[in-house]
């Protein structure tokens, strides 16, 4: 049992409370509210903090264990090496205050088991398994022989090519077979892939519908990577739950999203971090990145103005805090969201209370400090409502609890 007394509590949804207490009993929060009416909890370990808030979610990350965004190099590095690097990603995420990750393509489905077993400390992971892509699409490695993609790379489990309705159904079921909690599709071209155009639609509406239908039967929702408008509109028509990136979202797209309740996961971090460090990506990718960067910023601001629901995700994929777009830098996304028009409180809500709903029917009771919710809690030594960049620096995150277990910080006193 842990009892945190804080100068200020940011509950995730709703207004902050001055002078608050959070009590965690096992894996669940048993009290969160004003100190005056808090239970004494004499058996609890006691902590004091400037600020207490829910642990952060990253709704768009990749556990790939890569040290470059030249993704064609991925199959050249042994799987064991890349998986070992991910162990560092888990620790760096926790230290940054990230207690939940929606992992939209990578080793997350397997790492989730290692965390559940208690073998590794890490955030709770909701993994997609492999990214499902068309042949020649964003999830394809265009320079490899196609039978390597369908054989070796598909077996590694990070990418899966599918064309036509039966092949798409099979691809979605392969991910469910690995324990996927969400299904990820590439509905448009992308930046890090070599030959495709981010504006072009990939997958027909019929193919996307087939994937959404298979996912829905297992109470899973579908996350669609989309830059161009045709892919966004096709994905929404097919019933996907979230639009990832959303670069060319115009008014019509925003209206369609607001109407369907689809959530936007903007991933500004990868754009900002890679623009500043293009040596970590091939020239074809940096050229495409420069084309989409400005349009993407406008789209996020537009979405917010049109009342589209936004959840925080980064597209972080690299291992090593010294590298750009790496695990541990996740909190930077909130500052980017504030730059693009969200208030600090809105950015925090997008990274906490709103985030679980990106999982649809798989959403846990997380992201809010309230009795009955998962005890995923962080403490800070400065107030992110005064300066949102506090959350960008892991040094300000003084304590982290996942499911009621403290995984960062000490300083608790037994009563
Ligand atoms: Zn991504």
CA of 413 to the centre of ligand 1 (A): 41
pLDDT in tens, 61-71: 999 999 999 99
Q: How does residue 410 score in pLDDT terms, banded at 50, 70 and 90?
A: confident
54 C-alpha vs ligand 1 centroid, how far in Å? 24
Domain segments of the chain as ranges: 2-54+368-414, 56-362
- Confidence class for position 414, pLDDT limits 50, 70, 90: low
Architecture of domain 56-362: Alpha-Beta Barrel (3.20)
Give residue 106 CA to ligand 1 midpoint distance, Å: 10
Query: What are the phi and psi torsion angles at 74 (to 5°)?
Result: -55, -50
DSSP one-letter string for 50-83: EEEEEPEEEEEEEEEEESSS-GGGGGGS-HHHHH
184 is catalytic: yes
> For residue 46, what pLDDT is reported?
95
Q: What is the mean pLDDT of residues 213-239?
A: 98
Give 2: exposed, middle or buried? Use CB within 10 Å, 0-12, 13-18, 19+.
Answer: buried
CA distance 265 to 278: 23
Exactly one of 89, 184, 288, 408 is catalytic; name it. Answer: 184
95-122 per-position pLDDT tens digit? 999 999 999 999 999 999 999 999 999 9
Q: What is the average per-residue pLDDT within 344-356?
A: 98
Give yes or no for a contact between 325 and 315, defined as CB atoms under 8 angstroms apart: yes
* Structure confidence by residue, pLDDT tens digits, 155-174: 999 999 999 999 999 999 99
- The stretch 260-274 carries a mean pLDDT of 97
- For the full predicted model, state whether its pTM sits above 0.85: yes
Average pLDDT value for residue range 272-295? 96
Please pick, among 89, 196, 315, 374, the residue that the annotation labels catalytic: 315
Structure tokens, 205: 């509406």
Task: Tell me the residues surrounding ligand 1 (ion) with CB < 5 Å.
Answer: 315
Tens-digit pLDDT profile for residues 5-28 = 999 999 999 999 999 999 999 999
Tell me the CA–centroid distance for residue 314 and ligand 1, in Å: 8
> Separation of 359 CA from ligand 1 center, angstroms?
16
Verify whether residue 288 is a known catalytic residue: no
Q: Compute the distance from residue 315 Cα to the ligand 1 centre, in Å.
A: 5
Query: Where would I find the beta strands (DSSP E) of 35-164?
Result: 45-54, 56-66, 98-103, 124-127, 131-133, 159-161
Provide φ and ψ at 205, rounded to 5°: -60, -40
Q: What is the mean pLDDT of the chain?
A: 97
Pick the CATH number of 2-54+368-414 from 2.60.40.1730, 2.30.40.10, 3.40.250.10, 3.40.50.920: 2.30.40.10
Q: Is the pLDDT of residue 138 over 60?
A: yes
């Amino acid at each position: 049992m842990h009892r945190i007394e804080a100068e200020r509590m940011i509950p995730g949804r709703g207004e902050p409370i001055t002078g608050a207490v959070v009590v965690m009993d096992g894996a669940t929060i048993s009290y969160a509210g004003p100190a005056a009416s808090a239970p004494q909890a004499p058996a609890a370990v006691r902590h004091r903090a400037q600020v207490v808030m829910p642990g952060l979610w990253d709704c768009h990350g990749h556990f790939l264990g890569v040290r470059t965004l030249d993704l064609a190099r991925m199959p050249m590095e042994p799987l064991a090496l890349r998986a070992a690097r991910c162990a560092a990603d888990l620790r760096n995420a926790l230290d940054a205050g990230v207690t939940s990750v929606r992992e939209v393509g990578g080793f997350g489905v397997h790492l989730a088991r290692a965390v559940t077993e208690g073998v590794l400390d890490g955030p709770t992971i909701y993994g997609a398994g492999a990214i499902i892509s068309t042949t020649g699409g964003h999830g394809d490695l265009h320079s490899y022989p196609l039978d390597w993609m369908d054989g070796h790379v598909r077996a590694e489990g990070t990418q899966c090519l599918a064309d036509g309705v039966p092949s798409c159904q099979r691809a979605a079921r392969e991910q469910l077979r690995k324990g996927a909690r969400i299904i990820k599709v590439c509905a448009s071209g992308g930046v890090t892939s070599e030959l495709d155009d981010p504006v072009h639609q990939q997958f027909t509406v019929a193919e996307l519908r087939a994937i959404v239908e298979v996912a829905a039967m297992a109470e899973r929702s579908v996350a669609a990577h989309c830059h161009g408008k045709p892919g966004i509109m096709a994905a929404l028509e097919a019933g996907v739950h979230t639009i990832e990136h959303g670069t060319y979202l115009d008014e019509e797209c925003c209206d369609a999203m607001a109407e369907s309740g689809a959530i936007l996961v903007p991933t500004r971090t990868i754009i900002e971090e890679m623009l500043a460090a293009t040596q970590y990506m091939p020239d074809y990718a940096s050229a495409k990145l420069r084309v989409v960067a400005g349009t993407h910023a406008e789209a996020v601001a537009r979405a917010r103005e049109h009342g589209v629901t936004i959840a925080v995700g980064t597209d972080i994929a690299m291992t090593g805090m010294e590298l750009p777009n790496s695990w541990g830098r996740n909190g930077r996304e909130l500052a980017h969201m504030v730059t693009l028009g969200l208030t600090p409180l809105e950015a925090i809500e997008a990274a906490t209370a709103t985030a679980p709903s990106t999982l649809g029917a798989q959403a846990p009771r997380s992201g809010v400090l309230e009795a009955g919710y998962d005890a995923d809690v962080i403490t800070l030594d400065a107030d992110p409502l005064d300066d949102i960049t506090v959350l960008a620096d892991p040094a300000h995150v003084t304590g982290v609890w996942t499911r009621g277990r403290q995984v960062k910080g000490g300083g608790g006193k037994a009563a």
